[in-house]
Structure 1
Amino acid sequence: MRCQKFVVLAISLVIAFNLPGLAQVAEQPVAIFHAFNQNYNDVRKFVCQLADRGYSHIQIAPAQKSNSSQEWWARYQPVDYDVIEGKGSQADLQQLIAQAHKCKIKVIADVVFNHTANLGGGDNFEDLTKFPGLTQNDFHSAPGNPGKKPCDINYSDGNRNSELNCWLGGLPDLKYTANVKKIQKAHLKKLLDLGIDGFRFDAAKHMPANVVKEYVDYINRESQGKTWNYLEVITDSDTRADDYKWIAAVTDFILYNSMKAAFTSSGDLRSLRVPTAIDDSRSITFGRNHDTIREINADAINPYDDASDSYLATAYVLARESGTPLILNWDNADAPYIKTGVKFRQIMRQRGKAGGNVKENVLAAVNSSTVLLMERGNEGFFVVNKAVGKFDIPMLDLTLTNIEGCYRELRNNFTVAVERRQNGKKFVTRWGTQNRGGMEVQGRDALYFIREPWQQCQIGR
Structure 2
Amino acid sequence: MKTFQRLLIIILFIHYSCANEDVLENNSQQESLKTKTELNVASRQGLKPIGTGVMMQAFYWDVPAGGTWWETVEGKVAQWSNAGIDAIWLPPVSKAQNGALSMGYDPFDYYDFGQYNQMGSLETRFGSKAELESLISSAHNAQLSVIADIVINHNSGGDIEPNPYTGIPYYTDFNPLSGKFFRSSSDFHPNNVRNSDSGVFGGFPDLSHSQPYVQDWLWKRSNSVAKYYKNVMGFDGWRFDYVKGFEPWVVKEWNKEVGGFSVGEYWDGNVNTLDWWATQAQSTAFDFACYYRMRDAFDGNNLNRLNDDMLWKRGGTKAVTFVTNHDTDEIYGGKMLAYAYILTHEGYPTIFYRDYEEWLSKERLNNLIWIHNNLAGGSTSILHVDNDEYVARRNGYNNNGLVVYINNSNSWQERWVETNWSSTRIKDFTGHSNWEPVTQAGKWVKIQAPPKSYTVWSPK
TM score, norm. by length of structure 2: 0.70
Post-superposition CA distance 1:148-195 (Å, at most 9, x none): xx9xxxxxxxxxx96x35431222110122332233232221221222
Q: 1:397 is matched with which residue?
A: 416
Change (3 A) 1:125 1:44: farther
Question: Which residue does 1:301 correspond to in 2?
Answer: none
Aligned with 1:290 (options 311, 326, 345): 326
In the TM superposition, what whole-angstrom CA distance separates every residue of 1:284-313 from its partner, at most 9, and x where no partner exists?
1111222334xxxxxxxxxx6x52334422
* Residue-by-residue CA offset, 1:105-125 (whole Å, 9 max, x unaligned): 1111111111112679xxx98
**1:338-392 Cα distance to aligned partner (Å, 9 max, x none):** 332211111126xx5xxxxx4322222xx642222222235322222233x2324
Q: Which runs of 5+ in 2 are unaligned?
A: 1-48, 64-68, 115-123, 160-167, 177-181
Q: Contact 1:209–1:243 at 8 Å: present in 2 too?
A: no
DSSP 3-state at the match of 2:108: strand
With over 3 angstroms needed to count, the CA separation of the structure-2 counterparts of 1:34 and 1:126, relative to structure 1, is farther
State the match for 1:359 in structure 2: 379
Quick one: which amino acid aligns to residue 192 of structure 1?
K
The separation in 2 between residues aligned to 1:119 and 1:383, in whole angstroms, is 54
CA distance in 2, matches of 1:439, 1:339: 22
Which residue of the partner structure matches residue 105 of structure 2?
Answer: 76
Q: Deviations over 1:112-150 (max 9, x none)?
A: 111112679xxx98522245211121112599xxxxxx9
Which aligned pairs between 1:407-418 and structure 2 lie closer than 5 A? 407-412=426-431, 415-418=434-437
Q: CA deviation at 1:235?
A: 2.6
Q: Does 1:174 find its partner at 2:174?
A: no
Alpha-carbon distance, 1:414 to partner: 5.8
Contact 2:50 2:87 (C-alpha < 8 Å) held by counterparts:
no
Residue by residue, what CA displacement relative to the aligned partner does 1:392-413 show, whole Å, maximum 9, x if unpaired?
Answer: 44xx423x33255333444438
Alignment of 1:340-351 (within 5 A): 340-348=367-375
1:217 aligns with 2:242: no
Which residue in the other structure is 1:451 paired with? 459
Equivalences for 1:258-407 in 2 at 5 Å? 258-267=293-302, 269-273=303-307, 275-277=309-311, 279-282=314-317, 283-293=319-329, 307-320=332-345, 322-333=346-357, 334-336=359-361, 337-348=364-375, 352=377, 358-364=378-384, 368-377=386-395, 378-387=400-409, 389-393=410-414, 396-398=415-417, 400-403=418-421, 405-407=424-426
Name the CA shift for 1:402/1:106 in 2 (closer, same or farther; >3 Å).
Answer: same
CA distance in 2, matches of 1:287, 1:103: 25
Per mean C-alpha deviation after superposition, the further-off stretch among 413-422 and 187-196 is 413-422
Q: How far apart are residue 63 of structure 1 and its match?
A: 1.2
Which residue matches 1:16?
Answer: none
User: Which residue is equivalent to 1:190?
Assistant: 228
Give the counterpart letter for 2:154 in structure 1.
H
Moved more, 188-197 or 412-421: 412-421
Q: Secondary structure of the residue that 1:128 maps to in structure 2?
A: strand
Report the alpha carbon displacement of residue 207 of structure 1 after superposing the two structures with TM: 1.6
DSSP-derived class of the 1:397 partner: strand
Structure 1: gaps (5+ residues): 1-25, 144-149, 151-160, 221-226, 294-303, 353-357, 429-437, 453-461
Identity of aligned residues (%): 24
Distance 1:421 1:285, change over 3 A: closer
Q: Distance in 2 between matches of 1:406 and 1:125?
A: 74
Q: Deviations over 1:58-109 (max 9, x none)?
A: 111111111326666x411101012113223332222112211212111111
Distance 1:311 1:117 in 2: 38
Residues 371 and 70 of structure 1, relative CA distance in 2, 3 Å threshold: farther
Contact 1:118 1:171 in 2 (8 A): no
Conserved 8 A contact 1:273-1:361 = no
Q: 1:451–1:97: structure 2 CA closer, same or farther, 3 Å change rule?
A: farther
Partners of 1:142 and 1:276 lie apart in 2 by 38
Aligned residue identity for 1:187: V
What code does the residue aligned with 1:391 have? Answer: W
Structure 2 CA distance, aligned partners of 1:425 and 1:181? 56
Q: Note closer, same or farther for the CA distance 1:391–1:131 as it changes in structure 2 (3 Å cut).
A: farther
- How far does the alpha carbon of each residue in 1:211-251 deviate from its partner, in whole angstroms, 9 at most, with x for none? 2221111112xxxxxx2111111237899224421221111
AA paired with 1:33?
A: M
Counterpart CA distance in 2 for 1:347 and 1:219 is 31
Q: Deviations over 1:32-79 (max 9, x none)?
A: 10002462221111101111111111111111111326666x411101
Query: Which residue in the other structure is 2:82 paired with?
Result: 52
Whole-angstrom CA distance in 1 between matches of 2:316 and 2:155: 32
Letter in 2 for 1:137: S
* Separation in structure 1 between the aligned mates of residue 295 and residue 215 of structure 2, nearest angstrom: 38
Aligned length: 364
Secondary structure of 1:127's counterpart equals strand
How far apart, CA to CA, are the structure 2 residues paired with 1:238 and 1:128? 36
Residues 338, 420 of structure 1: CA spacing in aligned structure 2 closer, same or farther, 3 A cutoff?
closer
TM-score (norm 1): 0.70
The amino acid of 1:265's aligned partner reads: G
Q: CA deviation at 1:324?
A: 1.1
Paired letter, 1:110: D
Q: In 2, are the aligned partners of 1:29 and 1:57 still within 8 Å (CA)?
A: no
3-state SS of 1:117 partner = coil
How far apart, in 1, do the equivalents of 2:187 and 2:443 lie? Answer: 69
Mark the CA change 1:381 to 1:94 in structure 2 (over 3 Å): closer, same or farther.
same
Deviations, residues 418-459 of structure 1 (Å, cap 9, x unaligned): 32459x67434xxxxxxxxx524132x23334432xxxxxxx
* Contact 2:293 2:308 (C-alpha < 8 Å) held by counterparts: no
In structure 2, how many angstroms separate the alpha carbons of the residues matched to 1:65 and 1:374? 46
- 1:451 is aligned with what amino acid? P
CA distance in 2, matches of 1:93, 1:65: 13
Aligned-residue RMSD, C-alpha: 3.2
User: What pairs with 1:95-174 in structure 2 (closer than 5 Å)?
Assistant: 95-117=134-156, 126-132=170-176, 133-141=182-190, 164=197, 166-174=199-207
